[in-house]
Structure 1
Amino acid sequence: MKEIVAVIGWVTGIQGVLGVAGRTFGDGPWGMLRKWWEIPTAGYVVLAVAGLALAVYGETAKKRA
């Protein structure tokens, strides 16, 4: 279960970082989420932080087990 949480965290974090980077350095967000929803830049920041938190939790839980 902790492996799944870590993978979801990594994917979510990467999508958030791609959205912020695309809005900052490009003409629009990058990644797959832009194909389905129009997310504001602050939403991408929240996704990146939440993904990072999930990934760190999953990775540290795997090491403790």
Structure 2
Amino acid sequence: MRTTIGYTIESIGYVIGAQGLVSFASQTFFGTEWGWLHKVVDLPSTAYLGVLAVGLALVVVGVKTRKVSERPEAV
């Protein structure tokens, strides 16, 4: 069960992190809006770096959750 939860959290983290990165890059370097996150919230470009950090944190939590279930349990 932890493996499934780990993969789910990790996958959500990848999507959120990618949206944060794309939104930051598009606002900062091109002055346009890319991705779907800008349709939900209107944030300044630096706030999208926070969204990227949240996505990366979810990836780390997902990987750790998954690896906990892969360890052999001590008897």
Contact map agreement 2:21 2:49 (CA 8 A) in 1? yes
Runs of 4+ in 1 over 2 A off after TM superposition: none
Instruction: Report the CA distance between 1:60 and its aligned residue.
Output: 2.6
CA contact (8 A) 1:15 1:31 kept: yes
Q: 2:28 aligns with which of 7, 24, 29?
A: 24
Q: Which has the larger radius of gyration?
A: 2
Q: Which structure shows the higher helix fraction?
A: 1
Residue aligning to 1:63: 67
Tell me the TM-score normalized by structure 2.
0.74
Identity of aligned residues (%): 34
Q: Which residue in the other structure is 2:53 paired with?
A: 49
Gaps of 5+ in 1: none
Report how many residues are paired.
65
